[in-house]
Amino acid sequence: MTSSTEVNATAAGSGRNATAAFAAKERSAGPVDHARVSAIATDALHALHDVVRRHQVTYAEYDALKAWLISVGETGEWPLFLDVFVEHIVEEVANADRKGAVGTIEGPYYIPGAPEFASEATVPMREGEAGTPLLFQGTVTDLDGAPVDGALVELWHADDAGYYSQFAPGIPEWNLRAAIRTGADGHYAFRTIQPAPYQIPTDGSTGALISAAGWHPWRPAHLHLKVSAPGKQPVTSQLYFDGGEYVEDDVAQAVKPELILRPAPAASGEGNEVTYDFPLDPA
């Protein structure tokens, strides 16, 4: 399927939209812990100083760094850059004690308020949406395996060309975004399409760094999930496909063994299906 998305989408455009979405995000405005800010900032600066000394950074390289930092800000790519290269470590630390469902990075393209359904949903998509049909289903439980009533399971993912609705032109607002509220059995089921691997946008500042370093810019195909319920710890995750390209060398380093899906041919004869459960930790 071809649309204006493939023609007009740019990293800078997606970056500006991601920055705007982040700016609108509600964040805690608690008191500043000056000692903690000082400790973190000091260690970060000392780590950077050590890099300069270890690699004997030149003034030309220092000027290139300044120009690149300015460019990242001007193109609005800080959410993209940080979510690709830093968030996986923040997530690892934040969820080190979790016993239930395994989390990973959220990424820059989450939007709250997707259309909500009860128990099952056909995800909003364009007529003739490209991609293999996928039935993605499972159960939300507590750590003892009891189903959780009233859990909210939010799903979003890129289209077959690697673009997200609300961050690239030419895509309907809630395309490939939906939420399910579970019933007493804790079950959810989404009928969607299986996304493809996609490149981190390479026409902006993040892409310039990737190119200069000789890295590859690819993310494996993945589904994004947020699962929450009263009295439970919410979990944010991404699920990948067994044997898929770039699963072993994801540019965002977000793949974990527990997050690998193994779809099988759907019982309906149309596309694939897979079951994945979310046991939630108590709050």
Predicted confidence band of residue 10 (pLDDT cuts 50, 70, 90)? low
- State the pLDDT at residue 113: 96
CA 169 to chain centre: 19
Average pLDDT, the chain: 92
pLDDT tens across 16-50, in order?
677 777 777 766 667 899 999 999 999 999 999 99
Confidence (pLDDT) at 178:
98
Structural class in CATH, domain 93-280:
mainly beta
Confidence of residue 1 (pLDDT cuts 50, 70, 90): very low
Predicted TM-score (pTM) of this structure:
0.86
Q: What is the pLDDT of residue 108?
A: 85
Residue type for position 55 = H
Model confidence pLDDT, tens digit, residues 96-136: 999 999 999 998 899 999 999 999 999 999 999 999 999 99
Q: Find, among 121, 94, 123, 118, the residue nearest to 106 by Cα.
A: 94
What is the token pair recorded at 219? 């993310």
Amino acid identity of residue 240, one-letter, is Y
CA angle 112, 70, 44 (to 5 degrees): 80
DSSP conformation class of 201: P
138-175 confidence digits (pLDDT tens):
999 999 999 999 999 999 999 998 889 998 889 999 99
Query: What is the pLDDT, as a whole number, of residue 11?
Result: 58
Please report the pLDDT score of residue 96 as a whole number: 94
What is the per-residue DSSP string for 47-100? HHHHHHHHHT--HHHHHHHHHHHHHHHHTT-HHHHHHHHTHHHHHHHHTTT--S
The rounded distance, in Å, linking the Cα atoms of 145 and 35 is 42
Instruction: Give pLDDT, residue 186.
Output: 98
Q: How far is CA 250 from CA 157, 158, 200, in A?
A: 16, 16, 10
Amino acid residing at 192: T
Residue 154 has which token pair?
């939010």
pLDDT value of residue 203? 86
- Quick one: pLDDT at residue 2? 40
Highest mean pLDDT among 11-15, 26-30, 247-251: 247-251
- The residue behind tokens 């299906």 is 273
Residue 101: the pLDDT is 98
Residue 71 CB partners (closer than 8 Å, separation 6+): 205, 208
Label the pairing between strands 132-142 and 272-275: parallel
